Amino acid sequence: MANTNMANILLKVSGLKVGYGGIQAVKGVDFEVHEGELVTLIGSNGAGKTTTMKAITGGLPFTEGDIEYLGKSIKGQGAWDLVHQGLAMVPEGRGVFTRMTILENLAMGAYIRNDKAEIASDVDMVFQTFPRLKERKDQLAGTMSGGEQQMLAMGRALMSRPKVLLLDEPSMGLSPIMVDKIFEVVKDVSSKGVTVLLVEQNASRALGIADRGYVMDSGLITMSGDAKIMLSDPKVREAYLGE
């Protein structure tokens, strides 16, 4: 588990409200992520988790509240601005460049960098983490399986050397073996000092590797706390772990 520095808040969401198409999807949420933490946001489908992530990364405008990153409001900034500042997201659905090879996708992840030797070293790091990507480095991303694309999306995000990595439903639609691999990698990335905000429907797996958790329901945060305590909470187990 990563060491947390509770004094250093990297990401702070305050009173966030997001609506689109006449629907108020996020109704005023507050949460924070401290340096070195692995924090998970769990909840059922339609709870507002992905909408919250899109608002953080500039993909959706928000009507009320604020989002602070490194102590400053990032309202109105786009994904491009935020990647430059060390905030990277692996979106739901992966979003790989399907007509580019694996190597070209990884190069795009490092687009904001010009330290060629270090970039090459990071490509090697991604290939060590995901040996299957190395075997297929010249293959077009669009011809890969969903699990392989998820590996590539995570590797591409890591190429930007993020301070904070946002992961939106990384295990969705994957085989049990691939789910094991993805959670193993998330835990490993966190242990190396990258701060992680993980959105997941697989609550038991997410709480199992996280430091802290927040439960989101119908656009609101309804519970928060130490992830291990939440994992054994009867209300959480009944609502989200099918018990």
What domains lie within the chain, and their CATH numbers? Answer: 37-58+78-240 (3.40.50.300)
pLDDT of 243 > 70? The answer is no
Q: Give per-residue pLDDT as tens, 101-140.
A: 999 999 999 998 989 999 999 999 999 999 999 999 999 9
Q: What share of the chain is helix, strand, coil (3-state, %, to 5)?
A: 40, 30, 35
| Crossing angle between the packed helical segments 146-158 and 116-129, to the nearest 10 degrees | 150
- pLDDT (average), residues 57-77: 94
Tell me the Ramachandran region of residue 71: left when phi exceeds 0, alpha when psi lies from -120 to 50, beta otherwise: left
| Cβ contact 167:198 at 8 Å | yes
Radius of gyration of the chain (CA): 17
- pLDDT (average), residues 48-52: 94
| Cβ contact 16:188 at 8 Å | no
pTM, rounded to two decimals: 0.92
Q: Residue 191: how many CA atoms within 13 Å on its side-chain side?
A: 8
The token duo for 213 is 């958790």
Mean pLDDT of the chain: 92
pLDDT of 151 > 60? The answer is yes
Percent pLDDT > 70 in the chain is 96
The token duo for 84 is 């430059």
Neighbours of 204 (CB within 10 A): 15
* Structure confidence at residue 177 (pLDDT): 92
| Cβ contact 157:165 at 8 Å | yes
- pLDDT (average), residues 168-181: 93
Q: Which residue has the higher pLDDT, 21 or 216?
A: 216
